[in-house]
A and B are shown apart, each in its own frame.
Chain A
């Protein structure tokens, strides 16, 4: 009975990968545990092991194939005594186990990917597949007409932003867990160690409180650290230094001490990693005077705003999103593309209602706008991009035009960014509103693990559609 070898998921968020190399040829015998192939994602290269003893009867996906979806059969293995002709009707399936070349770190998302590869073909299709392209326009003034654009993932855009700023300013350095030799837990710092060396790309122990304090101390002296958190969940251990040491010192020193530092890493819900690895901290940091808070949704915004953040003399909280790291978008070519902090972007112009969102919430907002357009409803979608300071000017101008507003975010609903926007609009544009503001958010629960419950805990484009229709009394 031949067994199908399936394309394995190497991480909770992997959708597809490249079958880089077959290490055994058709007809060769294999033993359970033998490395039979190498597959690559934009994050890493992994080895695929045989999951049973037998003979590699057929290679179904040739070496060099890109975009192989997770769970696609890539080869057939049959027992030594089975006839090759049976292999056309496989009756059993199994995904191979996967081995990472490096020693996995402790209790972090990357390692759960490497050690918990599915043993059965029961891994569900990813319901919340991130958009694969980000077509939204920039604000007209931000990119000069005729600027040459390159298509990049957000991951590449973030890396380029850091690399360009490190080339430009020798006081900029990167520190965090796995940023160097490992090339980044999410591969954001790929290649930086090779270019800038160990002096400026610093692998830290797993010690968030401590290394955040070290970063802030270095910033007090005028260096410009970029502190990467493997995820913002782990920054909870360091929030004391982010707020008490970085955000407040300029004020309480009467302006004599500065903290020019960027704290960055993935924020918000990932996929199937449960409550302690899936939380949006947007409102937490946006609450704090002395910080600027940025949460981009496109590769171009990510690049332009991260460069601005590194150049800014204030402490910056830069909230990325793991689910968006693989998103493609057009980014201006060259190393001088810097966006203004504190400016929202009208991602889609419209007249019937205003939808305000940020980060991955934009995925739902834009999908809903497409769905509503089919019903003849023309919504304006605003990407906040910066959460502190909030660009209320742009939001209020839109509301004065559309007279209706819906906010969209993945975070918990109580005291959220959406809450603040709704309150500001109610206070500053009450007479312009034709309906009460509406808010779409994540559910008010810790993130569950079960696939169906996780889906229920996150907002959907359908919910945004329903909210827009409700403010239109449709």
Chain B
């Protein structure tokens, strides 16, 4: 049944991607970016990278507390998906959410001030690293419970269908969440009701310290929806252009009322699970290999140089990004902590 449907959707719409087990690149469907799009993607990914590096520094200095999960290495996923979306589309993700806040257009200062637990943080300093939201930008958080974003995202998509608008919700979770029961409950309803949702599995190969091989009986997560007849695709999540291409197909499929797609983004986080994780479950060489051969920012930088963009132009972007991040950090360190009276506000409306 599942295979039947997947076949049908492929033959009816070739752009829906090749065999779910194959990387999208093999099907040759990645639509190349224009020079300006590459510049935009480069700038956004660099902004996330530099922001996260700064957050790591501030954490080390004791200005950021608790859990702090950095997105370094995974930038192409959220930037590519955001480029595939239209205004009004929604995003929901788990606790590794700094990249998503930036990609959805949240103000850098308010994000960094949330990390430092300050009054003008996007959640008034009451949410912290894992709980940032901007519904006015379509960003619904920022959730700390592994797997919760699958049904919550399906619910946002349900609301789109209920209202009869043409919005699509992009619901992110990780390879670890792909073994949670509620994810499959959400898959079932999303396909049963043809909800306009795209499920993004950010497969960075490690659920905290447990490699996917040690946690999953089957490791091809793109096929985890097949028993519900949800088509899936493996995507090179380090290549922002392939991410956008696969994202565009899945979003269009959802917008046309055809239901969900699972995109398994093959990606990699360079840092530990959180700041307190020394990442001894993998070798230094493995990380170094990914950085040297698959870095999403270097990949797009090389293409830009091929497009004739000068080193100086790229350096100018780098400088501007650094200035933005430094300004955000300055703000986040000088902003006052929440007033004591804010302890009891926003419990109820």
Contacts and interface: CB of A to CB of B under 8 A. Distances in A.
A254 B122 contact: yes
B91 to A, nearest CB: 12
Interface string B144-166: 11001011111111111011000
Given A220-B135, A240-B145, A245-B152, A210 B185 contact: yes
B185 A257 contact: no
Most chain B CB neighbours (cut-off 10 Å) among A205, A249, A250, A256: A256
A222 to B, nearest CB: 8
B218 interface: no
A258 interface: yes
A220 B139 CA distance: 11
B181 interface: yes
A93 to B, nearest CB: 47
B302 to A, nearest CB: 39
Nearest to A214: B155
A244 B158 CA distance: 20
A42 to B, nearest CB: 31
A215 to B, nearest CB: 6
Contacts of A390: none
Given A254-B123, A255-B124, A314-B349, A207 B188 contact: yes
B313 to A, nearest CB: 37
Interface stretch (B1-9, B53-61, B126-134, B318-326): B126-134
B346 A244 contact: no
Given A240-B145, A314-B348, A217 B162 contact: no
A215 B152 CA distance: 8
Contacts of A244: 143-145, 148
A292 interface: yes
Contacts of A219: 155
Interface in A42-87: none
Contact of A245 (B143, B186, B188): B143
Contacts of A251: 126, 346-347
Output the residue of B151, B163, B186 with the most chain A CB within 10 A: B151
B189 interface: yes
B182 interface: yes
Contacts of B152: 213-214, 216-217, 220, 241, 245
A188 B299 CA distance: 59
B121 interface: yes
B151 A241 contact: yes
A392 interface: no
B141 interface: yes
B250 to A, nearest CB: 19
Interface string B109-139: 0000000000001111111100111111000
Given A251-B346, A254-B124, A255-B124, A210 B158 contact: no
A289 B347 CA distance: 7
Nearest to A312: B349
A130 interface: no
Most B-side CB within 10 Å, residue of A218, A223, A292:
A218
B151 A213 contact: yes
Contacts of A222: 159
B283 interface: no
Contacts of A221: 90, 135, 140, 156, 159-160
Interface string A197-236: 0010000110101111111111111110000000000000
Given A214-B189, A255-B345, A289-B347, A241 B159 contact: no
B26 interface: no
Nearest to B347: A289
Contacts of B347: 250-251, 289-290
A252 B148 contact: no
Interface residues of B, number: 49
B221 interface: no
A448 interface: no
A292 B155 contact: no
**Residue from the set B141, B152, B153 with the largest chain A CB neighbour count within 10 Å:** B152
Nearest to B167: A221
B92 interface: yes
B134 to A, nearest CB: 7
Contacts of B345: 255
A210 B186 contact: yes
A462 B159 CA distance: 51
Q: Which of B136, B158, B349 has the most C-beta atoms of chain A within 10 angstroms of its own C-beta?
A: B158
A217 B154 contact: yes
Contact of B162 (A173, A207, A213): A173
A211 B142 CA distance: 20
A73 to B, nearest CB: 47
A235 to B, nearest CB: 14
Nearest to A205: B188
Contacts of A241: 148, 151-152
Nearest to A243: B145
B192 interface: yes
A313 interface: yes
A245 B94 CA distance: 12
B58 to A, nearest CB: 20
Contacts of A204: 189
Contacts of B135: 220-221, 256-257
A253 interface: yes
A253 B162 contact: no
A249 B141 contact: yes
A212 B151 contact: yes
B349 A218 contact: no
A212 B145 CA distance: 14
A445 B142 CA distance: 40
B230 to A, nearest CB: 14
Contact of B192 (A205, A212, A253): A205
A253 B148 contact: no
A87 B346 CA distance: 72
B133 to A, nearest CB: 4
A211 B185 contact: yes
A429 B184 CA distance: 52
A250 B135 CA distance: 12
A220 B155 contact: yes
Contact of A253 (B123, B151, B155, B186): B123
Contacts of B189: 204-205, 207, 210-211, 214
Contacts of B188: 205, 207, 210
Contacts of A218: 155-156, 158-159, 162
Given A213-B148, A220-B159, 8 more contacts: A205-B189, A210-B182, A210-B186, A214-B152, A218-B155, A251-B347, A253-B142, A256-B133
Please list the 6 inter-chain residue pairs (A to B) with the smallest Cβ-Cβ separation, ordered nearest first: A217-B155, A210-B185, A213-B151, A254-B124, A254-B123, A217-B152
Interface of B: 90, 92, 121-128, 131-136, 140-145, 148, 150-160, 162-163, 181-182, 184-186, 188-189, 192, 345-349
18 contacts: A199-B162, A204-B189, A207-B189, A210-B185, A211-B185, A213-B150, A213-B151, A213-B182, A214-B158, A216-B151, A217-B157, A221-B156, A240-B145, A245-B148, A245-B152, A252-B126, A252-B128, A254-B121
